[in-house]
Chains A and B, each alone.
Chain A
Amino acid sequence: EAQVTQNPRYLITVTGKKLTVTCSQNMNHEYMSWYRQDPGLGLRQIYYSMNVEVTDKGDVPEGYKVSRKEKRNFPLILESPSPNQTSLYFCASSRIAGVKAFFGQGTRLTVV
């Protein structure tokens, strides 16, 4: 089954404690991206990757890092989380940029 898998689904953490949200897709897609969803702001892109070892900043990259060492995986790293990063995060992948995106189930992160 074609899917994008994010883990964990829910996470509560404390300010400053490094965390990683994993994202994996099994469709051999080249394009992957991370979004955060906040009420009234819709989906804002954090980082995206056009292919392995190619990543670039989206609209709200501050406080986040990503890596794309393998085609299937695109982890999101928060080196020092802060309360303003409390949000719902979605990973998405598509065959190439600009075509139908497949979304993960989301990760609800709370930073206290």
Chain B
Amino acid sequence: AQSVSQHNHHVILSEAASLELGCNYSYGGTVNLFWYVQYPGQHLQLLLKYFSGDPLVKGIKGFEAEFIKSKFSFNLRKPSVQWSDTAEYFCAVGNNNDMRFGAGTRLTVKP
């Protein structure tokens, strides 16, 4: 069955620490990969996406993600987090039939 797994449920970091959130998926065929962010009390917004080409994609606010096809992974990274990055982060995988989301990772950044 198609699925998206996010390994970390809650991550707590201090400002300036580096971030890596894991995402693995189980999907057949060609997929599109996304990371969405949900700030407290708000709806989901696109952070970055990968369709094809360079497997290292850069998104907004200094985030980047790397697609590793052999590992079915699309991990999100940021070299130095800020307090304003406190939010919930969702990995999503889509094909021409549907879109599935992971369970989300809550990131808390302490000032």
Report which A residues bind B (CB closer than 8 A). 33, 35, 40-45, 48, 58, 90, 92, 94, 96-101, 103-106
Q: Mark B34-51, 1 if CB is under 8 A from A, else 0.
A: 101000001111100100
Are A106 and B43 in contact, with the CB atoms below 8 A? yes
Are A98 and B90 in contact, with the CB atoms below 8 A? no
B15 CB to closest chain A CB (Å) equals 26
Report which B residues bind A (CB closer than 8 A). 6, 9, 31-32, 34, 36, 42-46, 49, 90, 92, 94-104
A40-B103, A41-B103, A42-B104 are contacts. A90–B94 as well, Cβ < 8 Å?
no
Smallest CB-CB separation from A6: which chain B residue?
A: B43
Of the candidates A33, A96, A99, the one having the most CB atoms from chain B within 10 angstroms of its own CB is A99
Are B94 and A43 in contact, with the CB atoms below 8 A? no
A9 CB to closest chain B CB (Å) equals 11
B residues less than 8 Å from A96 (CB atoms): 96
How far is it, in angstroms, between the C-alpha of A106 and the C-alpha of B45 when the chains are bound? 12
Smallest CB-CB separation from B6: which chain A residue?
A: A42
Smallest CB-CB separation from A35: which chain B residue?
A: B101
Smallest CB-CB separation from B46: which chain A residue?
A: A100
Smallest CB-CB separation from A100: which chain B residue?
A: B46
How far is it, in angstroms, between the C-alpha of A90 and the C-alpha of B38 when the chains are bound? 12
Are A90 and B43 in contact, with the CB atoms below 8 A? yes
**Contact among B42, B95, B102, B103 for A98, CB-based, below 8 A:** B95
Are B95 and A103 in contact, with the CB atoms below 8 A? no
B residues less than 8 Å from A43 (CB atoms): 44, 90, 101, 104
Smallest CB-CB separation from B103: which chain A residue?
A: A42
How far is it, in angstroms, between the C-alpha of A98 and the C-alpha of B98 when the chains are bound? 5
Smallest CB-CB separation from B105: which chain A residue?
A: A42
A42-B103, A42-B104 are contacts. A98–B43 as well, Cβ < 8 Å?
no
How far is it, in angstroms, between the C-alpha of A36 and the C-alpha of B30 when the chains are bound? 26
